[in-house]
Structure 1
Amino acid sequence: MKGEPKTYSMSDLSYYGEKAQQQNEKQQKQYVVRRNSTQSTSKQNVSVVLEDNASESNELPKGFILYASLIALALSLFLAALDIMIVSTIIEEVAKQFGSYSEIGWLFTGYSLPNALLALIWGRIATPIGFKETMLFAIVIFEIGSLISALANSMSMLIGGRVIAGVGGCGIQSLSFVIGSTLVEESQRGILIAVLSCSFAIASVVGPFLGGVFTSSVTWRWCFYVNLPIGGLAFFLFLFFYNPGLSTFQETMDNIRKFPSQFIEIVRNVAYHLLKIKGFSKLNGWRKLFMELIFMYDIIEFVFCSAGFTCILLAFTFGGNRYAWNSASIIILFIIGIVLVVLAGIYDFLVFPKFNIVKATPHYQPLMSWTNIKKPGIFTVNIALFLTCAGYISQFTYIVQYFQLIYNDSAWRAAVHLVACIISTVVTAILCGVITDKTRQIKPIIVISSIFGVVGAGILTLLNNNANNSAHIGLLILPGVAFGGLAQSSMLASQIQLDKKSPTFRSDFVSITTFNTFCKNLGQALGGVISNTVFSAAAIKKLTKANIQLPDGTTVDNLVIYRQTNFDGSHSKLGNIISESLTDVFYMALGFYALSLIFAVFASNKKVTASLR
């Protein structure tokens, strides 16, 4: 009907929307912009309607182009995931070299925290610049961070490099799933997400193994040097084969031949945005920049949220190590952190939507829209994912520590034991994608995966220094099943809750997809630090209770160093203390999984839309 916006799938609006951003003048001839005006400015919206002569753009990529694009995305995601898992086997060596085991959790958190906090804003950056250019920029940032980590001469420099890599890795993870979800129809997204998730799982196998080999045979620094050639390959694959609007092999080959002119165009695009920033030197320019930061990028919520979670993680890091838990410093960090996170939520959910300029400008949206997040089908599955990831990263990290600290295994031998966990993750992710494609059901997968998570976490508490080889393998399978099933299904379950008729559907889709990544990465960041805190506090308490004095003081740093240089068997007093401390970590993970199951039960029953094929 006249005056009503036509409904399009996310594939149409996002995949080909990027081409529109890159060719504004040409697209103006193919689009008709209709503005629906009402008496209230808050209900004004612009609907972009494709003309019939642009029906060619409705075709999604097929064959070689689709597979080449997916390979580029999968390799990029593999790169980002590899950097999370590869450090699990270098903990002891790095702690020994820099003498800072109490800060070792920040090898994970330094990467995972910016990975989480920036997940929501990368989509906003990509919207005006273009998803392809932003993805390439994220890969470059990641490579710089990896190089800094490889050259680190102190724990602070290493953590700094991890933070920079986390900024780039966040863009890679967030944009990979957004771009990937727009390449196929909704009914096929389950398989696509499963394929991309498998690259994460494969990195989980390769990462610890490579890390173990490098640490044992060469140096732990190669765990970061290896990112440079892989990142270069991912960069050029994505540069050549992801081209919105080109759906045939011949078009892509012709486009590759134009690489020099393409490169010049990218440089011009970057220069254009730099000139825009330079133009802000004038008063009106600075005012416009301020308005864009406040409303387009929701910088106030971002600052509050980032500062809040950082304070909370610092409190967990230093509590019980440098400062007592009841010290003023730790209490203040907790209070400030919680207050800032609450203020971030209040601002985005209640204050931001009240501004008149937000009501009149549809593309001004908060990073966390309460309108979307409050939907049970979105809120419950993402909280379940957050809790599952917190439990999974705790288990994953300290399974490696179990074999290294109790049995004195080398880094690569400890990593081999993770294969059972990772294989179950890969198989489950693919199987769930196929089941979703055939049955269109999501909730049963979410609930069953969460049940497996609770059962698996409960069984894993039996992993102590009395466990046999069969237990070393069998106890690690169910946690992998839980993570593979929930990580794959939670994103799709969130996406299908959105209203395709909404004028903000495209921005909502990007926002919810990145919110899912935010929850996953935040869970990993918090889980990594909290598990380190639980292990450290438990070990120190048990050492004190047993009246065991270490040569250089009763600290976790000294415990690890002493254990490496004076290994006295898996059933010695120190072996028993370490085993009991690891069990405390596994019980903490069980608590996370139990809470995750509660939220999973309330997931939406909505099914995936049937294919139009």
Structure 2
Amino acid sequence: MADEKPNPDVDAGQVSDANTVNTTELSDKADAASGDAPLEEYKYISGIRLYTVTGAVTLVVFLMLLDMSIIGTAVPRITTEFQSLGDVGWYGAAYNLSSAALQPLTGKIYTYFKVKWSFLAFLAVFTLGSLICGVATSSSMLIGGRAIAGIGTSGLQNGGLTIITNSVPLEKRPALIGILMGISQLGIVIGPLLGGAITQYSTWRWCFYINLPAAAVVAVLLVMIDIPERPGKVEHSVLRTVLSKLDLSGFALFAPAAIMLLLGLEYGGRSHPWNSATVIGLLVGSVVTFIVFFFWEGRQGDDAMFPLGMIKRREVWTSLVTTMMIMGAVVLVNAFYLPIYFQSVKGVSPFTSGVYVLPNILSSLVFSVVSGLLVTKLGYYIPWVLGSSALAAIACGLLSTLSVDTSTGEWVGYQLILGARGAAMQMPLLAVQAVLPQAQISVGMALVIFTNTFGGAIFLTVAQTIFTNSLRSHIEQYVPTIDIEQVLAAGASGIREVVSEADLPGVLRAYSDSVDHVFYLLVAASVCGFVAGWGMGWNDLRKKKLAPLGGAEA
């Protein structure tokens, strides 16, 4: 190949400023081996088809995030109807466990199966789970429906991103991914508002029924549009693909390891003491199973569900660390503890607390979309990662000063600064797309999304431990005569019903100080994201072109 003359008419294999490869020869070899169409026949979509596809997948990811948060305000009515107060934890855990356990496998599924039909299959499973939740006649049936819906959501975000990846060239993806990530984040804040309104004025079952018509519309739109497949994709029989390509042995090790870890973190300090045999057994079992899993993955090489060679790349592992710190920690933990501050310290309703966090969400949406558009124009994503991480650290530091007397102007301003983290939301996804071969992009994006989900579960557990321990110690310090267990049982929105006027200032101060301690954790996470961001690679997306089979790297 070194003796051949470059083909000036083919630039699809150009992957750097100074080097080119003969993509004609590579394509011919790939075609001879697999029967796929030559690279030049690969066509992206544009115009109304592209807008329709982007809108459809954005709506699905929005529904997925909405489904995570909408149930919160409906839980009291559900527990009353089913007399199931002890099952509250499982309404969220069943959803998150099934979703997190399957996410890495979805990268393999999108690599070897048709993208559109795989996405529609996950959407169908999510819709089935929503339907079961809506018609549930018992708490157990509701939990089962949540688990099925979680299985469906495991492939929706990765699938939506893969569809966009296949639909437009790399240099045009930042703007579309920014729109998807920014708008879909509105589902988190709208969830509690919509759930409260539905539960109050209709029935909690519509919190799940609303997914059905929206999913039907998306399915019809996508069925009518041809979604491009990555070039060089080899078609095999379903049975052969399942047995030889999906690394089911790795999944059989990973799923129980992930579930044991998440259950151990879920139980620890809540339903079971941290030193209980149940929690210790789950955590130790998880560590041992993970060791066996990574040993197996090392033997599988590039066919592994977690290709270790991919993860060892600096650009990839730093992207995973960055998304864990910014998305898993800063975004998710903020979504939980800012409403706690507003409902407890400021004494507002759940609905009003959702309104109060709108500056954060809307600012994040603006930063996400604008950064995506500017990356498309300027090419580089690292400045946005570094800038947003730095501003997130400053904002979390400012939010750690929240007190009983903090003015509206202050907490609004702090949240507007915090919204800068929206500029970093899609950058780890772009970083792995910029450095990985085309055939590995779906797996790489699945790892980023999994790290986000898994990291969020871990950081929420750490934040909960910090908050609870701090609240106990501060209540003992400020109001030593009060019944701490009664205050904790009342929850953030019910403390004024169980605390006397004389004791209330001390309890409110304890809540405020405890929320502040959670933001110390987020300052540290933001700094870690800033440091990791330097390793994500100074790649100009405008100069990255598609290589056939993902193997033509200069």
After TM superposition, list the pairs within 5 Å mapping 1:543-554 onto structure 2. 546-549=480-483
User: Which amino acid is 2:445 matched to?
Assistant: T
Question: What residue number does 1:250 align with?
Answer: none
Match status 1:351 vs 2:299: yes
Secondary structure at 2:193 match in 1? helix
1:136 aligns with 2:120: yes
- Report matched runs for 1:99-498 at 5 Å: 107-152=91-136, 157-244=141-228, 292-293=242-243, 295-348=244-297, 350-353=298-301, 365-391=303-329, 392-482=331-421, 484-498=422-436
Q: Is the 8 A contact 1:109 1:525 kept in 2?
A: no
Distance 1:556 1:96 in 2: 20
Partner secondary structure for residue 64 of structure 1: helix
Q: Is the 8 A contact 2:181 2:368 kept in 1?
A: yes
Q: Is the 8 A contact 1:460 1:586 kept in 2?
A: yes
In structure 1, the residue corresponding to 2:426 is in which secondary structure? Answer: helix
Aligned match for 1:518, one of 450, 463, 474: 450
The offset of 1:106, in angstroms, is 5.2
For 2:315 and 2:406, how far apart are their aligned partners in 1? 40
Q: Is this contact kept in 2: 1:123–1:510, CA < 8 A?
A: yes
Aligned residue for 1:232, secondary structure, equals helix
- Whole-Å Cα distance in 1 between the matches of residues 97 and 3 of structure 2? 45
Q: Distance in 2 between matches of 1:125 and 1:47?
A: 19
Counterpart for residue 281 of structure 1? none
Amino acid aligned to 1:351 = R
Does the 8 Å CA contact 1:95/1:557 hold for their aligned counterparts?
Answer: no
Q: What is the CA distance between 1:147 and its match in structure 2?
A: 2.6
For 1:469 and 1:451, how far apart are their aligned partners in 2? 24
Contact 2:487–2:499 under 8 Å retained in 1: no
Greater shift after overlay, 235-244 or 414-423?
A: 235-244
Offset of 1:564 from its aligned partner? Answer: 6.9
Shift of 1:207: 2.6
The equivalent of 1:25 in structure 2 is: none
Give the structure 1 partner of residue 543 of structure 2. Answer: 610
Structure 1 residues 322 and 3, CA gap change in structure 2 (3 angstroms): farther
The separation in 1 between residues aligned to 2:141 and 2:113, in whole angstroms, is: 31
Shift of the 520–322 alpha-carbon distance from structure 1 to 2, 3 Å rule, reads closer
The alpha-carbon deviation at position 83 of structure 1 amounts to 1.5
Alpha-carbon shift at residue 80 of structure 1 (Å): 1.5
Match status 1:599 vs 2:532: yes
| Deviation sequence 1:113-136 (CA, Å, 0-9, x none) | 433332221232344542222111
CA offsets per residue over residues 529-555 of structure 1, 9 Å max, x none?
4433443444445556635326xx558
Contact 1:88 1:400 in 2 (8 A): no
- Structure 1 residue 97: Cα displacement: 7.1
The 1:3/1:440 distance shift into structure 2, 3 A limit, reads same
Q: Name the aligned partner's letter for residue 602 of structure 1.
A: G
CA–CA distance in structure 1, aligned partners of residues 372 and 388 of structure 2: 13
Distance change >3 Å, CA 128–CA 424, structure 1 → 2: same
Query: Residues 215 and 474 of structure 1: is their aligned pair in 2 closer, same or farther, counting only changes over 3 Å?
Result: farther
Partner in structure 2 of residue 357 of structure 1: none
SS of the residue aligned with 1:450?
helix
Q: Quick check: 2:97–2:262 contact (8 Å CA) kept in 1?
A: no
Taking the aligned partners of 1:581 and 1:102, their CA distance within structure 2 comes to 26
Inter-CA distance 566–548: structure 2 relative to 1 (3 Å threshold)? closer
Q: Which residue of 2 aligns with 1:251?
A: none
- 2:21 aligns to what? none
Please identify, of 95-104 and 603-612, the stretch whose mean Cα deviation from structure 2 is larger. Answer: 95-104
2: CA distance, partners of 1:458 / 1:524 = 20
Residues 126-150 of structure 1 deviation map (CA, whole Å, 9 limit, x = unaligned)? 4454222211111111112223333
Contact 1:202 1:422 in 2 (8 A): yes
CA contact (8 A) 1:212 1:413 kept: no
Cα gap change, 1:476 to 1:86, in 2 (>3 Å): farther
Asked if the contact 1:424–1:477 (Cα under 8 Å) also holds between the matched residues in 2, the reply is yes
Tell me, in whole angstroms, the C-alpha distance in 2 between the residues paired with 1:385 and 1:68: 28
1:151 CA drift (Å): 4.3
Measured against aligned partners, the alpha-carbon deviations of 1:30-74 in whole angstroms (never above 9, x if no partner) come to x966599xxxxxxxxx566645xx85x333212122222222222
TM-score, reference length from structure 2: 0.83
Check 1:397–1:515 CA distance in 2 against 1; reply closer, same or farther (3 A cut): same
Name the CA distance, whole Å, in 1 between partners of 2:359 and 2:255.
35
> Which runs of no fewer than 5 residues in structure 1 stay unpaired?
11-30, 37-45, 246-271, 277-287, 354-363, 499-504
Question: 3-state SS of the aligned residue for 1:235?
Answer: helix
Identify if the C-alpha distance between structure 1 residues 86 and 575 changes in structure 2 by more than 3 Å, giving closer, same or farther.
same
Structure 1 residue identity aligned to 2:310? N
Q: Give the match for residue 43 of structure 1.
A: none
Matches of 1:323 and 1:205, distance apart in 2: 31
- The answer on whether the counterparts of 2:167 and 2:227 sit within 8 Å (CA) in structure 1 is no
Q: Residues 395-436 of structure 1, C-alpha deviation per residue, up to 9 Å, x if partnerless?
A: 111212222233442222111112111111111111111221
Q: Distance in 2 between matches of 1:411 and 1:588?
A: 24
State the TM-score, normalizing by the size of structure 1.
0.75
Distance of aligned partners of 1:525 and 1:451 in 2 relative to their CA distance in 1, 3 Å threshold: same
Cα separation, 1, equivalents of 2:160 and 2:64: 10
Does the CA contact (< 8 Å) of 1:144 and 1:164 recur in 2?
Answer: yes
> Cα distance, 1:204 vs. partner?
3.2
Change beyond 3 A, Cα 1:9–1:209: farther
Cα distance change, pair 101–600 in 1 and its aligned pair in 2 (3 A):
farther
Partner Cα separation in structure 2 for residue 586 and residue 162 of structure 1: 30
Where 2:168 maps in the other structure, the secondary structure is coil
Rounded to whole Å, the distance in 2 between the matches of 1:467 and 1:204 is 25
Matched residue count: 520
Unaligned runs of 5+ in 2: 14-26, 230-236, 547-554
Q: Quickly say closer, same or farther: Cα 1:141–1:453, change in 2 above 3 A.
A: same
Matched with 2:65 is: 81
Alpha-carbon distance, 1:571 to partner: 4.3
The answer to whether the Cα contact below 8 Å between 2:111 and 2:443 also exists between their aligned partners in 1 is no
Q: CA deviation at 1:447?
A: 0.9
Q: Secondary structure at the match of 1:496?
A: helix
Change (3 A) 1:167 1:369: same
Could you report, residue by residue, the CA deviation over 1:75-104 in whole angstroms, capped at 9, with x for unpaired residues?
222221221233454466667777888875
- Which residue pairs with 1:21 in the alignment? none
- CA shift, 1:347, in A, is 2.3
- SS of equivalent to 1:303: helix
Closer, same or farther: CA 231–510 of 1 in aligned 2, 3 Å: same
Cα distance change, pair 100–338 in 1 and its aligned pair in 2 (3 A): farther
Q: Which moved more, 1:563-572 or 1:205-214?
A: 563-572
Distance in 2 (CA, whole Å) between partners of 1:47 and 1:153 is: 51
Identical amino acids, percent of aligned pairs: 24
